[in-house]
Structure 1
Amino acid sequence: MSDAINAALAAAENAAAELPETTSSTTAVTSAPIGGAPAVAGQTRSLTDFMESSSMNVEVYLAVSHLGIRLGKDIKVHDEIEVEMCFKDAKAGYTLRVNTPNGVQYLTSWDGAVEARSRQNWAAVQADAKKMDGNSYVSDLIELPVKLLKDYPRKEGGPLAAGSIVGLSISYKNSQAFAPFLKENYPKFGADKPFKVKLTAVAKKGGGGQDYGVFGYEVIDEGKAGKKAA
């Protein structure tokens, strides 16, 4: 492996090892921008930079399958989760899925120029990943913190309380499902207006016959019936 992919994989593994045990995502914990990317030497960090880098300090990530939604690694499955979201909190980038000798890894770039954690050239990381795994691919990535509107029970530990901030890590098939929801609702709510959403699990079947799930979205509107998107 080249220096670029070596450095990127090492940074991802180190980051995953440092995350709390309760943290999980729909793809891999290494895709989450916890703490943000390293600062460039000599560059002043603004309050906006801090807010962006800390925005995904969430209690857990929501994981979705064809069976339902889980709160991080907890085994209890929920049919639906009601949250408040705001589009300005979303962070868009790219995620690279690659099979390595140590299993599947997910690497992230927020600007399409460098890998988020290692700061290696993103094009070089992709090229090296393709040499290692011919089936490696890049997909869109959205990281979005949302606020729980209700208490949700867990098998282990107490319930996750209303007001808790949880994370959506939306890539590949999930990003394809999120796109029409975003296109329909961004003109309605804009970037700054919080709104309520019911998250569901929409069962899908892959080309090889395997079952999987993506998030479905239903706007909870006190005055009008919300529309579903999946």
Structure 2
Amino acid sequence: MTTRDGDPGADAERKMQFLFALRSHGVTDPRVLSAMEEVDRAPFIRGLFAERAYEDMPLPIACGQTISQPSVVGIMTQALKIQPRDKVLEVGTGSGYQAAILAKLARRVYTVDRHRRLVHEAREHFEALDLHNITAMTSDGTRGLPEQAPFDKIMVTAAAEDPPGPLLAQLAIGGIMVVPVGQSDAVQSLIKVTRRDTGYDYEELLPVRFVPLLEGLGQE
């Protein structure tokens, strides 16, 4: 994690503040903290907001989407309890920042987004970071990726009115899905879903606000 001016002292200070913000919001898993320390958020943000990359806040990206605030990224990642051999599906590639963190923890990450431009730019980031265990594609995320199912873990980075049925069906027994649930114009709840032999267990984690999960493909 490096600052734009390359000042080592400033780098160390920003990294310390960044990790402190994560811990103060409940991100305590050492593997998650290590992954988030390794993956610099700054390259995933372009334009006017690039200088705010290390602040714990969501920021706008292309196609009317957002990059989530780091503490929420950390909490969602931590809730998945990713193991080194896991196969993970992310619905909503966005900037690619979340997928890059998942790739540090899992064996294989599949990430889909409805916007071709975002997928193209995310692939460039993955290549620059030498992350070759990510497959990114333009697709309708509400349908999941049935040809690669089942998944050990599924992360949804857009809000659905209910946990999407096709995604629940693609979750392995014992697998975990983390998804924001609620109306797009109201406060949503981050839900952790665990698939059991006999059904699904639901746990509410915290209030959040995400862009809505939409069917179909975007215009760009």
TM-score, scaled to structure 1: 0.29
Greater gyration radius = 1
TM-score, scaled to structure 2: 0.30
Q: Which has the higher strand share?
A: 1
Q: Which has the higher helix share?
A: 2
